[in-house]
Structure 1
């Protein structure tokens, strides 16, 4: 057994140390950015993503967050008919949403139908609880091959090695986090995971070196944790309580 003696930190273990700034008020701060992806597309907005949980990543959430130029990873249970209706009435919101799938063949086929019907959709999220499963990297590579002109976010992983592998398989954004969510039992039931702040920092360093981005998925118990996730190098996937509060 190899024991990693490196110190790993969670959001509650760190604070952002202030520095002198020319900004006089928080009202002067503009969080919008242009995130250039490896696929050549640019995501314009605030680096916060509502998680693809069925109670969080909803059409109504997408409408609300898009007004603030934030993103939503829609949950994978919407039908093609529901997508068509949403797209027809909310074309301006579509750059701020991700179409989510898992790794099943049926979900990939459904993704193909959605993107063929609504080609102006540009963002895909491939989501599994454990990105270390043997079938995951080939699946991500297959999605990239089918959709070379889309932004591809994939995960979840918690370390540099798999972040690099995901980027090499075609991911534009590496989704980071195993078990950090407030309602997630992964760590208690399996003993698996890495404290979320350190996971974001490590994955961000690896992904950024290859020209990719990261999205910290989960663990944000308060708004300040979103700031810490962004400071650590990532988009912030606002799941759990924060996602519902947005």
Structure 2
């Protein structure tokens, strides 16, 4: 039996240590970062948080809300070509530079089709090659083919863990290696397979390797609160991808739960017209869940296990509420450690291991 030495850490295992700071106010922190990429040579400027390419959160509505704050969205893979053409044909300066076109290794024909209709060799500006397990030779070959097809695109590829695999993706054409196996809020791969890697250590190790090759990394999944985004960036992540934190906002796509008209004492006619005002919850599921397999693949194949779950979460209102919390949390974290720019957060931050994150006395109130 082979066991790696040293304890590997997740977000819940650490806190960022406060440092002496010369920053007088959160308003003085620059949350916008400029990126220059190894292969595409393109330059991106933005706040390094990405909405995950789940069908709930990777929506066009989410993209339009987030780009107003220079935040990014990875569209889900299941849009029809016409929808993609219509979306990317408008507001090119915003949608192209803040929205990732997502595809799997079997979706190249659709990309070629959409690209031919848009008729611009710069499309897609950002592309996300996404599979659950990016540590296979088939995935690496698909990445090489995508880089050949889209030589000028910023390519994010994954998911993988480990310094060696992050390096390999960068060397094979990825500008950004997407890091994370099993940390998602609705992912059950670790339960069903026993496979995974604690996310904070995964980001730290991969970023050290990728940065040595002038590559970048995106930590995908594992964030249960805004502070985890701060920790992921402080650990060396260039981007952090989130799904569950955004789920349940108005910009999500999927099934909603509502208060009934009788429950509210309303007439059925009024209720039909104003039902959107009475949202109470959102049904959120992982892309390896039984619900997703039924929706997109006609059911679960007999050789697969269900590696995702479905949950009902409270309605959160417009995504602007979450964006405000993210921006405020990041600015405050930078202020606590003396980082005037979000790019400097990893240089200024250090971590302490802990057994408790917060005072829980009122958690059940």
Cα 1:242–1:13, aligned 2, differ >3 Å: closer, same or farther?
farther
Partner of 2:350: none
Out of 244, 250, 259, the position equivalent to 1:240 is 244
Cα 1:197–1:138, aligned 2, differ >3 Å: closer, same or farther?
same
Cα distance between partner residues in 1 of 2:212 and 2:96: 29
* 1:97 matched to 2:104: no
User: How does 1:163-242 map onto structure 2 within 5 Å?
Assistant: 163-234=166-237, 235-242=239-246
List alignment gaps of at least 5 residues for structure 2. Answer: 250-321, 323-365
DSSP-derived class of the 2:137 partner = coil
Q: For the Cα contact (< 8 Å) 1:130–1:178, is it kept in 2?
A: yes
Aligned length: 244
Partner of 2:116: 116
Higher RCO (CA 8 Å, separation ≥ 6 residues): 2
Cα distance between partner residues in 2 of 1:87 and 1:210: 31
* 1:50 matched to 2:54: no
Cα distance between partner residues in 2 of 1:143 and 1:11: 33
Cα distance between partner residues in 2 of 1:170 and 1:117: 25
User: How does 1:26-105 map onto structure 2 within 5 Å?
Assistant: 26-38=26-38, 39-91=40-92, 92-104=94-106
List alignment gaps of at least 5 residues for structure 1. Answer: none
Cα distance between partner residues in 2 of 1:154 and 1:133: 12
* 1:141 matched to 2:144: yes
Q: For the Cα contact (< 8 Å) 2:57–2:246, is it kept in 1?
A: no
TM-score (norm 2): 0.65
Cα 1:35–1:244, aligned 2, differ >3 Å: closer, same or farther?
farther
TM-score (norm 1): 0.95
CA offset digits 1:147-192 (Å, max 9, x no partner): 1110000000110111111111100000000000111000000000
CA offset digits 1:46-102 (Å, max 9, x no partner): 110100000011000001110110000000111111112212333232210000011
Aligned-residue CA RMSD (Å): 1.4
Q: For the Cα contact (< 8 Å) 1:163–1:207, is it kept in 2?
A: yes
* 1:129 matched to 2:132: yes
DSSP-derived class of the 2:34 partner = strand
Q: Post-superposition, which runs of at least 4 consecutive aligned residues in structure 1 deviate over 6 A?
A: none
DSSP-derived class of the 1:66 partner = helix
Cα 1:217–1:193, aligned 2, differ >3 Å: closer, same or farther?
same
Cα distance between partner residues in 2 of 1:237 and 1:115: 25
Cα distance between partner residues in 1 of 2:88 and 2:148: 25
Q: For the Cα contact (< 8 Å) 1:51–1:243, is it kept in 2?
A: no
Cα distance between partner residues in 1 of 2:5 and 2:236: 23
Cα distance between partner residues in 2 of 1:244 and 1:216: 22
CA offset digits 1:19-55 (Å, max 9, x no partner): 2222222222221011110120011101101000000
